[in-house]
Every structure is written in C-alpha cells, then in structure tokens.
Amino acid sequence: MAVSQDTPAPAAGFTQSRVGHGKDWLLLVVCLLSTCIGGVALFTLLAYVLVDAAGWLDWQFLTSTTSRFPEKAGIFPALVGSIYMAALLIPPAMVLGIGAAVYLTEYARANKLTKFININIANLAGVPSVVWGLLGLGLFIQLFGMRYGTLLVGSLTMTLLILPVIIIASQEAIKAVPDSLRQAAFGMGATRWQTISRVVLPRALPGILTGTVLSLARALGETAPLIMIGVPTAVFATPGGVRDKFTSMTMQLFSWSDYPQPEFQYGVLAAGVVTLLVVLLSLNALAIYLRHRFQNRHG
C-alpha cells in the first residue's frame, strides 16, 4: 500500500500545455482515460452489488447472527469481530511501527545492518497474506500454545502483517520533516529524544496516522491469514474478551459464498459486501480527512 506525501505541485504553471500538436491531445486523452478506467470498472461493479443488496441490507441484517436461512442471516457478530480486531491492532502496531521507524531514521547509522533491516522490511511488505497465516499458526498457536481463532491470535498475526507497511509509511513521514527543524532544536541544546518526541513526531504524526488508518483498512480486508489460524465462520455471540473466538466480515462473506441456496450468493452476500465496503470507505475517508486537516498547517 503506497502512501506518499503530498509534495507541492511542481511548475503548476506548466499545465498550460502547448496543445498545438495532435500528439499532445492524444497523450492527454490516453492519460485521462487510463486514470478513469479503473474507477469506472470498480464503479460498475459496485453498482451491481448495490442493486443485488437492495432488499437484503436492512436493520435485521446488521443486527442478526448468521443462520441457515438466508432471510434470517445477519452480519452482526462478524461486524463487531472485525471492528474489535482492528481496534486491538492499533496500540501494538503503532508503538512497534513508530518505534522501528524512529530507530531507522533518527538513530541508526548508515551501515550494512541498517540496510539489511530496511530491505527486510520492504520484503516483508510483499509477503503473501496466506504466509502470514502460516506464521500465526506455527508461532502463536502451535509454539506458544494460544487458543486458535481468538481475537488475541488474530490481532497478533494481523499486527505483524501490517507492521512493515506502517514502518515504511512512518519512515516516509519522519523523513519529510525538514532537517532544519532538528538542527534548530539541537542548536538549543535539546537531546535526540527531546527532538524526536517534541519536534519530529508531532509534525510526522499526520503521515503516520494516515499510514496506520490505511493499514487498518487492509487488515479489515484480509481473509487468508484468518482462515489459516482457524477463525470460525459461525459464532453466535460477540466476543467478550481477547481470548474469545471471533469472526470477521471477510470470513463470513467467504463462508456465505459457499452456501447452496442462491439467495445467499446474490442477496445476503451482496449485503455483506456493501457493509464491508462502507466500513472500509469510512476508514479511507478518515485517512484523507486526517491527511488534509493536519497537512496544511505545515505550509
């Protein structure tokens, strides 16, 4: 998940292109179309889903548990489970992520070890989700003996999954803080930690938060790791604590897609997809809001 800082537009005046040549028009059209195609495709798919979900997505759906009857099936335990899991991810992921990013940008010397750690993190960011599930299974469940399919194992596994991306995003945010500010702080006699905690981090926080929120959105959309750690697809109560079993919206959708009754495939599933997308879009919107709100303060 690429998170890039918004740098000021270079040469805004140069958007006035020399549109005399036909090739210029062609380039503009091609580029514009390309930008739009992906969105149009997605938009069409979303429209289809919304149509299918009509009549199925109602209050009953949002507040019921799953059922063998399509009309009675609902997404409530899965919705709550997903939200709990996401909330539990925030403290460890942020602490570890910011900690690692701070070390790598502020403390680490530019030597082979640092380079190795950075390459390693970049690599981890690309590890397929199913492999993270195997790690969760082998490490937390089999080695540490934790109970399978619980919020604890789920959030630990997902924390590790999103950690590399949070570290990379935080590094970018911290690096974007101008060095002159650090120098100014040192010039006044501040220690490194004082500089970091009172000058660098506050300014990097918007970028860090954006990265975290987008990573949470990613975590909410994952299925494969949860399958491997034995997350159930049928629970009838919301989890009361971290050692309770939970299910996620993605697991519920995956399970519903296999039910024989066509109403599950075209009605219930569509309603579930819309619910999940609404939650994710809200998170994305939150990220955008955060990015805008706190960015403009730094000129």
Partner 1 sequence: MTQRLQATTLAVLGTLLAAMVLTGCGGGDDGGDKLSGEIQIAGSSTVYPISMAMAEEFSKLHPNVKVSVSSTGTGGGFKNFFIPGKTDINDASRPIKSSEVDKCREKGIEPIELTVGIDALSMVANKESNWTDSMTFAQLKRIWGPDNPPAKWNEVDASWPDAKLELYGPASTSGTFDYFTETVIGKGGAHRSDYHKTEHDNVIVQGIQGNKYALGYFGFAYYVSNKDKIKAMAIDGGKGPVKPSLANAQSGAYPLSRPLFIYVSSKALDKPHVKAFVEFYIRKSATELVSQVGYVPITDAQMTGNLAKIGVK
Partner 2 sequence: MESIETAEASLDLTQGVHPWRERLVRSAAFLCAAITVLTTGGIIAVLLVNAAEFFAEWSVWDFLTGTKWSPAIQPVEYGVLPLVWGTMVITLGSALIALPLGVAAAVYLSEYARPKVRAVVKPYLEILAGVPTVVYGYFALVYVTPALKTVFPTISTFNTLSASIVVGIMIIPFVASISEDAIRAVPKSLRMAGYGLGASKFSVVIRVVIPAAFSGIIASFILALSRAIGETMAVTIAAGQTPRLASIFNLEETFLRPAETMTAAMVNIGMSDVTGDSLAYRSLFAIGLVLFFMTFAMNILGSWVTSRFREKYE
Contacts to partner 1 from residues 36-95, by CB under 8 A: 65-69, 80, 83-84, 87, 90
* Positions in 166-195 near partner 1 (CB under 8 A): none
Q: x/- string (CB under 8 A) for partner 1, residues 259-278?
A: xxxx--x-------------
Q: Which does 131 bind (CB under 5 to 8 A by kind): partner 2, partner 1, none?
A: partner 2
Nearer to partner 1, 121 or 206 (CB): 206
* Residue from 74, 285, 101, 279 nearest 196 by CA: 101
Q: x/- string (CB under 8 A) for partner 1, residues 230-249?
A: xxxxxxxxxxxx--xx-x--
CB 225 within 8 A of CB 136: yes
CB 182 within 8 A of CB 241: no
Nearer to partner 2, 87 or 288 (CB): 288
Minimum CB distance to partner 2, residue 218 (Å) = 7
Q: Which does 273 bind (CB under 5 to 8 A by kind): partner 2, partner 1, none?
A: partner 2
Place of tokens 């909330």: 87
Q: What angle do CA 186, 187, 193 make, to 5 degrees?
A: 15
* Residue from 234, 243, 283 nearest 78 by CA: 234
| Two structure tokens written together for 67 | 């059922």
Nearer to partner 1, 121 or 166 (CB): 166
Q: Which does 259 bind (CB under 5 to 8 A by kind): partner 2, partner 1, none?
A: partner 1
Which of 206-232 are b and which e, b meaning 16 or more Cβ less than 10 Å from the residue's Cβ? bbbbbbbbbbbbbbbbbbebbbbbbbb
CB 6 within 8 A of CB 295: yes
Q: Which does 39 bind (CB under 5 to 8 A by kind): partner 1, partner 2, none?
A: partner 2
Minimum CB distance to partner 2, residue 4 (Å) = 5
Question: From the list 107, 202, 278, 288, which residue makes contact with partner 1 (rule: CB under 8 A)?
Answer: 202
DSSP-derived secondary structure for 79-145: HHHHHHHHHHHHHHHHHHHHHHHHIIIII--SSHHHHHHHHHHHHHHTS-HHHHHHHIIIIIIIIS-
Nearer to partner 1, 209 or 276 (CB): 209
CB 83 within 8 A of CB 71: no
Nearer to partner 1, 103 or 294 (CB): 294
Count the residues of the shown chain that bind partner 1, applying the rule CB under 8 A. 48
Minimum CB distance to partner 2, residue 33 (Å) = 8
| Two structure tokens written together for 244 | 């309770």
Nearer to partner 1, 13 or 145 (CB): 145
Q: Which does 296 bind (CB under 5 to 8 A by kind): partner 1, partner 2, none?
A: none
CB 256 within 8 A of CB 269: yes
Q: How many CA atoms lie within 13 A of 153 on its CB side?
A: 32
Residues of this chain that interact with partner 1 (CB under 8 A) are: 65-69, 80, 83-84, 87, 90, 137, 141-142, 147-149, 202, 205-206, 209, 230-241, 244-245, 247, 255, 257-262, 265, 286, 290, 293-294, 297
